[in-house]
Structures are given as C-alpha cells and as structure tokens.
Amino acid sequence: MDVESSAQGRVHSALAETCSRHRQACSRTMITRLGLSLHRRLPIIVGYFSRHDAYNDASTAFWILMNPDLDALHPYPFEKLAALKAELTPPASLAHIPLTIGEPQHAPYPGALAALVAHQAEMARYPATNGLAALRETIAAWACQRFALAGLDTERQVLPVNGTREAIFAFVQAALDRSRPAKVAVPNPFYQIYEGATLLAGGEPLYLDCTADNGFRPDFSAVSADTWRDVQIVFICSPGNPTGAVTPLAEFKQLIALADEYDFIIASDECYSELYLDEATPPPGLLQACAELGRDDYRRCVVFHSLSKRSNLPGLRSGFVAGDADLIMPFKRYRTYHGCAMSLPMQHASIAAWQDENHVRANREAYREKFSAVTDVLAPVMDFPTPEASFYLWPAVPGGDDIAFTQRLFVEQHVSVLPGSLMATIDGMTTPPGGHTCSRFISSATATPAAKRPRRWTKRACPLKPTTCAKTGCQQRCWNISCIASR
C-alpha cells in the first residue's frame, strides 16, 4: 500500500468511525449517488465535508449529516401557495394580479441611488462590521428624532445591518441561551423568520394568537408565570405583518415590566413603522416607550428598522438594530464572525436615505390614496380591521375558507392572495386565522383595479358581509342571488 492510499485509508476509516458515532444521534440524508460522484471526482470535497459529514462505506454510500434542526423548518408561505395553485389554470384572458409578496412598488429614493453610484469605487474596500461612524450617527439622529429619545450611543447602541430579515435571524442565533429552557414568543400569524430563527437556534416558539378579539395583537396577560420563566425573547411586530395592527405605547410599557420581572429580551420588529395612515399619529416604538419610562439604557430592548419599505429600497438590504448595549455589543461580535458587514456604497446610500424625510412623506401619501381607494372598493363585500399602518389588508374571507377563497379567486379571476392560515401555526391557535387572506392590495402598483376585480367576483360568488337584506330581512351571510342583487 503506497503512502497516498494508506493516508486515504486513514481518512476513510476516520470518516466511517465518525459516521457510526453519529448514526444514532443525528438525523441524516443518504445521498448515495451524489456522495459517490463527489468522492470519485473531487476527493477534496470529501475532506471538506468530513468535519460534519461522514460516509459509512465509500463503496456503497455517502452520508451527509446536517443540522437536524433544518428538518424542523417549515416551507415558506409562498412555497405552500405555489403548491395550492400548481394544478389550477387561471383564465388566460385576464392579466395576473399578484397581491402576495410584500414588495414596495413605488420608486426607490433617487438620492440613495445617486449615492450608490457616487461611491461605487469603494467596492474595492472591505467594510467594517459596525459600519461607518457617519452612518451610525445618521441612524442615531433619525431614531432620536422619530422616537423622541434622549440619545443613542453610536458606538454601543446602534448597528447597521443588511435588512431586518438577516438581522432578526442572526440576533436569535446570538442571543438564545441553549443551556436552559429557550422559548421565543412570536405573534401568530407571524413573519416566518421569527419561527425559523428560533428553531435553528435550538429554541421553542411560543405562538401568541393575534385574533380579532385582542385587536390582532398578542395578549401577554394570557401567558402564565411558569411559561414566562422559560421565555428568553419576545418578538413584537408593529405595525404588524400581516394584520397591520399597531402596538400602543402602554402595551410596550407593560411588556417592559414583564421583561424585568421574568428576565427576557424584547425584540421589536418595526420595519413598517414609517408607513402609516394618519400623518399626525406615527406608530410608537419600543425605544420610545423606554424613553418615556426614563430607561435610557434601553435595558433588555432591541429594535429592528429597515429602508426596504420606508424608502422603497428592498434591494439595498439596509437597516439597523438599536437598543441595549449589553445586547448590541455581543451581537456585533457574533456578526464579525458571521461576516455580514454592509458594503460601503450601500452605507452611503443608506446615509442619504435616512437623512431625507420628504420622500418618506410622499411615499405615505401615495399609500394613503391607495388605502382609501381600495378600502372604499372592498368594504361593501369584505370585513377587515381599519388599517392604521403597513401596506396590508387583512380581510375576513366571506364564507370563512381562506384556502378555497384563494384558489377560486385565482382560477376564476387570475388574482393571487395569500391565505392567512399559511402565515400561522393553526394547531396552537384558539381561534385559527383561517378565514383571512393577507392581501397586499395596497402595495400593488395598481391598487384600485387590483381591488375591483376581487370585489366584483366576491360580490358575485361569495356570501356578502352580514347586513340586513332589504328584500328578505336576512341577517346572515347569504348566498341567495336575490339577496345579493338587493344590496
């Protein structure tokens, strides 16, 4: 046996041993063909995988052992929606109206794009994890002005991030202590990253139902003291996706008191905070509640903000995290290893965007007009909470079956909405959200036509809102065509 083959033999037996050690403990995927072809053609890859993966016998199989928590991740709502629509054929004569993905349709802030171009040569430089001082100062000035804060330490209480999605995910990985019970409270229905981040960090989601009865906000008073003791992080989403509900200051303050009592972190996702309907009443934020309580160290509190919706820059991937330095500094350390610093041209673009409020006001104005047009069109046929903020509508589906509603709306009218039940964990819910669709009528480029088609169809095909029918006196949702005609 030559030197090379004996070395290879040692690698093989080490891998086989690793595999048998892991066999009981790990969930695994046997990728026989892939493994063998990789092994034959690229032995170096086998070496690369060998710390985490092993194969039991090079001649028969190659086992890739991945983090078993990956199996716990649910498909994204859009994947589930695609499956629901896979077998359906919509009418070719009607153009598709997609009302599903929450992507802004207004123009990105031109000042940010200009800064991006002006600083493109800085792509040649590595950025630092904590970003430019000028960016942190701009962010701090914006947040202090917007939320009436006494101050934010730009070295220790502010961190630029590549959008709130990655920051939320990464924060949970950095913050959760796996050595003790690790519940993470999330609103239900919810933005799926809260759940996925929790599962991959080895935590357990605690779903807090947001139903019409509690104003589509979590009812923290319903959580028992025993459960609170296991909670490490509470996610707030305000204004909420998908319901648009806004958390009042008093509720933030109550939650802060609970955080002190039970020693948990409050993570407030405020990425829709700048899209609100009443110009005089911006949604409050968690740090604002801290400031009103004189809690200027923002103890146990972090907020997540983004330029994606505020400045129509979802492709820029820019936001920030701010709050308690004892949370931000370890998070920064985590991010140094994770390697997610924002590129310098993006940082300059972000500075330009955070410094300008005119485009944000204009953006709100455009949404306001769309909201007004769409709610006028849909109110006669659908029930929905009066929107305060965000660009979502959360209408109750006439008839109550959100999946059937979604499929029929697609197959008959070529309109896509997202069934509410795909954005929630139904099992744990006392009142499942099935019966709502998350309809991004408002983010749609053509909001009024987008609402009119579902309205015409809903009026024709679905039970109407429960009102007293002039013709029959019927008080119920009613399929009777003569009742419908009379309204």
Ligand X SMILES: Cc1ncc(COP(=O)(O)O)c(C=O)c1O
Interacting residue ranges for ligand X, rule: CB under 6 A: 102, 163-165, 191, 237, 241, 269, 271, 306, 308, 314, 319
Q: Measured between alpha carbons, how far is 333 from 129 in angstroms, rounded to an integer?
A: 9
Closest by Cα among 322, 273, 275 to 105: 275
For ligand X, which is the closer residue by CB, 127 or 160?
160
CB of 364 to ligand X, least distance (A): 17
3-state secondary structure of 180: coil
Q: Which residue is nearest to ligand X (CB)?
A: 163
For ligand X, which is the closer residue by CB, 167 or 447?
167
- Which segments of 65-178 are extended strands (E)? 97-98, 158-161
CB of 347 to ligand X, least distance (A): 15
CB of 371 to ligand X, least distance (A): 17
Residue 173: CB atoms within 10 Å: 16
CB of 412 to ligand X, least distance (A): 28
CB of 163 to ligand X, least distance (A): 3
CB of 247 to ligand X, least distance (A): 13
Residue 76: both structure tokens together: 């994204």
For ligand X, which is the closer residue by CB, 49 or 394?
394
Residue 423: both structure tokens together: 């954005």
For ligand X, which is the closer residue by CB, 191 or 276?
191
For ligand X, which is the closer residue by CB, 136 or 165?
165
For ligand X, which is the closer residue by CB, 315 or 449?
315
Q: Are strands 183-188 and 158-161 parallel, antiparallel or unpaired?
A: unpaired
For ligand X, which is the closer residue by CB, 309 or 408?
309
**Could you check whether the bond before residue 242 is cis, i.e. omega within 30 degrees of 0?**
yes
Place of tokens 């983004």: 306
Residue 47 exposure: Cα atoms within 13 Å on the Cβ side: 9
Residue 168: CB atoms within 10 Å: 24
For ligand X, which is the closer residue by CB, 102 or 160?
102
CB of 395 to ligand X, least distance (A): 18
What separation in angstroms does the CA of 220 have from each of 146, 175, 236, 253, 292? 27, 21, 11, 12, 21
Residue 233 exposure: Cα atoms within 13 Å on the Cβ side: 33
Alpha-carbon Rg for the chain in angstroms = 26
CB of 93 to ligand X, least distance (A): 32
Q: Which residues make beta-bridge pairs with 97?
A: 415
For ligand X, which is the closer residue by CB, 15 or 236?
236
Residue 412: both structure tokens together: 């008959």
260 contacts 297 by C-beta, under 8 angstroms: no
Residue 66: both structure tokens together: 């991945």
CB of 102 to ligand X, least distance (A): 5
- What is the DSSP annotation of 261-293? HHT-EEEEE-TTTT-BS-TT-PPP-HHHHHHHT
